[in-house]
Structure 1
């Protein structure tokens, strides 16, 4: 059984993030795909057909269409593109809401020593969808303008040396504060502004281990997503370069078509991996949240009592 309430330092926060997936990873992602897999699949199919329609507008018989043909094509299929765009936006919105609630639901069931099955997870997610929408709407109205202003200021300072480290600190700090506020808002009966205040207080007590672990986890996840998703893209580029180098100009149209297919595959892989692996970031934020709650409310002793008699996995 994974212990949520625990006093952790920098190394333990990162270590316990991966220990969580070592213990619960198979069940966690199996339930995630059971809940989100259908929506993600529909989104991928929708994006595939969007890329196919876009490709048909740019090329004909392996050659690039002229500007007039491309313009006429997009005008004739404007309704189709708008439909794809609206459909993709709705699916991304639903998928994003559920994906943000899912790790909170999973950790909450662990906290309550309840079975982490699809039914219990979905029941929790359904009960908190309204609160999640309220949180994001209020954040967009109140906190988002402040965050944008701070990031803009950091970008202005980016041209002097102080702006670079400042940007690297401000972004994870804002992410952590909002994540803590979101966890608190969904997990408790606290109001929005109470949760924002509590999120800040939990962060500011010991910010450096939180910032450091967040940056490390982000770097790991983004590196994995980038490397894996760009493999098809580089395969297409190498194919084109090989045909140019060997002067096989008759194969260039096929190579260019192959590149476009690989670009589409890269795009789809990137989206899929982002939704799957962002769970590592969300769980990392959750572990930090429970760590800070333990430090302020001293709940680890109660957690240890609950764990008596449980089997270590």
Structure 2
């Protein structure tokens, strides 16, 4: 059994993130695919056909289309492009909403010592969809402008060098504060502004380990996503170079076709991995949240009592 309420230092925050997946990883991702897999698959299929239609617009009778030719093709199929765009937007919203609630639901069931099955997870998610929508709408008005202003100031300071270390500190700090606010708002009965205040207070209790943990987990996840996603892209690049050297430019259409297919695979793979592996970042934020709750409310002793008689998985 994984213990959520526990005092953790910097190393523990990172180590326990991966320990969580050692204990719950198989069950976690199996339930994630069961809940989110269908929507993600539909999105991938939609993106595949969108890329295919876009590719068809670039070539007419096997030849590259001129700028005017592609513009004419786009105008003739504008309803199709708009339909795909609206469909993709709706699916991305659904995926983002469920993606943000899934790790919270799973950790809540772990906290309650309830069975982490698809039924219980989905039941919790459905009960919190309304609160999640309210949070995102309020944050769009309150947190989003503040984040944009702070981000702009940091990027502006890049020109005098001090902005570079500021970005590395401020962005993870903002991300963690918002994550703590969201976790608290969803898992408690506190209001938005109370959760915002609590999220900030939890963060400032031990900011540097939290910032460091967020940076490292984010770096690991994005490195893995980038490395795996760009494999088809580099295959496409080397394939194009090989075809040009061996066959010349006569088979230009075939070469470009292969390149576009590889680009499409890269794009789809990147989206799929991002949704899947963002769970690692979200779980890391959840573990930090429960650790900071323990720092303020001393709940680890209660958790240890609850674990008496339980066997570690």
Which bracket does the TM-score occupy, shorter chain normalised? Answer: over 0.9
Q: Quote the Cα distance in structure 2 between the aligned partners of 1:230 and 1:187.
A: 37
Tell me how far apart the structure 2 counterparts of residues 245 and 61 of structure 1 sit (CA, whole Å): 25
* Separation (CA, whole Å) in 1 of partners of 2:35 and 2:44: 16
Structure-1 residue corresponding to 2:117: 117
Partner of 1:153: 153
SS of 1:116's partner is coil
Contact 2:6-2:300 at 8 Å conserved across structures: yes
After superposing on structure 2, the runs of 4+ consecutive aligned residues of structure 1 that deviate more than 2 Å are: 60-63, 245-253
Task: Verify the 8 A CA contact 1:240 1:252 in the aligned structure 2.
Answer: no
RMSD: 0.8
Q: 1:61 Cα deviation (Å)?
A: 3.8
Residue pairs, 1:170-209, within 5 angstroms: 170-209=170-209
The alpha-carbon deviation at position 114 of structure 1 amounts to 0.1
The alpha-carbon deviation at position 148 of structure 1 amounts to: 0.3
Q: Which range moves more in the overlay, 234-243 or 269-278?
A: 234-243
* Structure 2 residues without counterparts, runs of 5 or longer: none
Shift of 1:69: 1.2
Q: What is the rounded CA distance, in whole Å, between the counterparts of 1:60 and 1:27 in structure 2?
A: 48
The aligned counterpart of 1:71 is: 71
Q: Deviations over 1:177-227 (max 9, x none)?
A: 000000000000000000000000000111000000100000000000001
C-alpha distance in 2 between matches for 1:93 and 1:113: 30
d(CA) in 1 for partners of 2:111 and 2:173? Answer: 26
Q: Which residue of 2 aligns with 1:108?
A: 108
For 1:306, the equivalent position in structure 2 comes to 306
Structure 1: unaligned runs, 5 residues or longer = none
- Answer whether contact 1:235 1:262 (CA < 8 A) is retained: yes
Query: 1:232: which partner in 2?
Result: 232
TM-score by length of 1: 0.99
Give the Cα–Cα distance (whole angstroms) in 1 for the partners of residues 281 and 212 of structure 2.
Answer: 13
Matching of residue 260 in structure 1 with residue 233 in structure 2: no
Once the two structures are superposed, the pairs formed by residues 1-313 of structure 1 within 5 Å of their partners are: 1-313=1-313
1:247 positional shift: 4.3
Separation in 2, partners of 1:99, 1:155:
29
Contact 1:62 1:257 in 2 (8 A): no
- What is the Cα deviation at residue 64 of structure 1? 1.0
Q: Distance in 2 between matches of 1:15 and 1:229?
A: 26
Task: Please tell me whether the aligned partners of residues 229 and 266 of structure 2 are also in contact (alpha carbons under 8 angstroms).
Answer: yes
Deviation at 1:62, TM superposition (A): 3.6
TM-score in terms of structure 2 length: 0.99
C-alpha distance in 2, partners of 1:61/1:234?
28
In the alignment, is the contact (CA less than 8 A) between 1:221 and 1:277 conserved in 2?
yes
